[in-house]
Structure 1
Amino acid sequence: MTGPETEIDDTTPESEEKQKLNLEVEVTKPDACTRHVTVTVSQEDVDRYFEEAFTELMPSAEVPGFRAGHAPRKLVEQRFRGQVADQVKGSLLMDSMSQVSEDQEFSAISEPDFDFGAVELPDNGPLKFEFNIEVRPEFDVPQWKGLELERLTRDFSKEDIDRQLQDILRTQAEIAPYEGTVEPGDYVVANIRSRLDGKVLAEASETTVAVKPIASFPDARLEGFEKLMTGAKAGETKTEKCTISHDADNADLQGKDVEVDFEVLEVKRLELPELDQALLERLGGYENEGELRDQIKAELERRLDYQRQRRLRQQITGLLTQSADWELPPDLVKRQASR
């Protein structure tokens, strides 16, 4: 046997739509990018928030001479007025600000310039507060139809793909001994010695150095290193001058010209691997070289498309802002300048 069905009302105060505040909002424009907002919350809303706060407090309020939650409401209101007032002020300000942001049409670009502590909740009467806020400047959109733009175009040749393929192979290359003379891009294993007025300052043994236009050391840079080493072979010593950095730890050496000796012990060169099936598999599971080349071309075209879109956006932005005439929010400019 079943009893009569009972409908359960699961409506809770939280599920009901929150009652909107009765606000008076005055907005003035000190300048094109600032709005000064004055908000007045009605006495009725202030009383309602106090009523709700005390109703919530009553079951747990402790007053001497009474069990918790059993003290007369008037005593509770007298004892906890200050504590509840701070809570009510915070709730009113938060809800008011939220409602203002929803109801007003200005597009804020910053947090309100607002002093919570300066707002006073009166014993009687409405709550009033004010704040400044930065907004997007209002302006007429410049004419954009008919703008002439330059579109980046390019056809990728076999040579372009060859260069990219060589770059890929270099990532898989190994440095191996080479019997010939040094060429740009090679490596030398050398004993390095720096001297000042014939006195040895520092030495490094069997150091591998890439043959590039500039050789970098902790306290110096040697310009023309590639030119110096080109044509050298094992057993030869190359000498060049360089200037110690003015930021060197040793103040006595700062700015001094020193001689650097490179005793070449061995020449090494990158050996590119053969593009066989095993390497094709490691590079991405390609069936053959043609498939890899197709992928390289597709990647080049993706990069070109990105650059094309970026350049078009830059052109559009530049052309539109040429005729634009509006004020920028001062605080926004300061924030950007400080970055």
Structure 2
Amino acid sequence: MRPVLRALGLWLAVVAVFAAKTWLSLRVIDRPAPLADILVGELLTFAPWLPLAPLALLAARRFPLVGEGRGRHLVVLLGVGVGLALAHVVLGVVLAALVRGEWWPLPELLEQVRQTIPRAVGPHLVVYAALVAVAHALAFRRDAEARARRAAALEGALARAERDRLRMQLHPHFLFNTLHAVSALMTRDVAGARRMIAGLSELLRISLDDDDDDVPLARELEILDLYLRIQQTRFADRLTVTIDVEPAARAARVPKLLLQPLVENAIRHGVEPRAGGGALELEARRRGDRLHLELRDDGAGLSSRAREGVGLGNTRARLEKSYPGDHRFSLAPRDGGGVVVGIDLPFRAE
């Protein structure tokens, strides 16, 4: 219903424009006429296009002037245009007779049509050409919108594929590091090594089960907890972990496996080299429409991490893919020793 009302409104606007033009033209040549009579005349002129315009638009869509066969389509459209112009003349003559309350015998009606054709067919062909142009413009717009939708879908698919590639890159890296730790533990604590393998199996199962690019922070913390259990088995009381997460922050969606490589990096470079171990502190806060994450360790600092490895490089790339230009990722020395990793993201809930 709405497209019909829009088409009717456009038609009335065209009638109003032509009526105004005729009224002004008559005043310029000092032959003024009542505006109501002019409106009636323009309505009679354009009224036949109400049933004929859809036929013109249909012909333009069926025989487009682009692509293969456009020469043949042009001939067809010209033929349709002449036919519609003649039909407009006939309808206009009949409609004018009905409005005046007259009805001519068929010979007189045909004669009236014959006299009207020379002065009316040309303008009607111009209107027809305008309708064909409008139909092509609408078709071009639809095609452009469809191409834009396809391009956006393809871009989204490529971005998801790249995020998946980056995420899957973490699995062999994490698996290698953990198995290396298991092998080192096997010689002195077989039971602990077995617990690490069991925890590793559960962690891999959970991390590979979900297909989502991002998960609620609460879910990410569950995955991180499995990883920390593995590390607690390895380090025992040499590793202290403190996690402080605001309840309001738990619903925020974050890239899956965002925290694990950062914690792994902190343990490997901050806790492991120290004979006495070390401590990790993780905080998550919601600040308006932003989520702020901060991971701190009390290790040796940035000097031992001058070369960015797979974990940090992967994290940077994933954040850029997920939040292009709308995130912050920083590493800085911590007062008193250690490193602070800060992440600022848009707060996106479920």
Q: So what's the TM-score if we normalise by structure 2?
A: 0.24
Of Structure 1 and Structure 2, which has the larger fraction of its residues in strand? 1
Of Structure 1 and Structure 2, which has the larger fraction of its residues in helix? 2
Q: So what's the TM-score if we normalise by structure 1?
A: 0.24
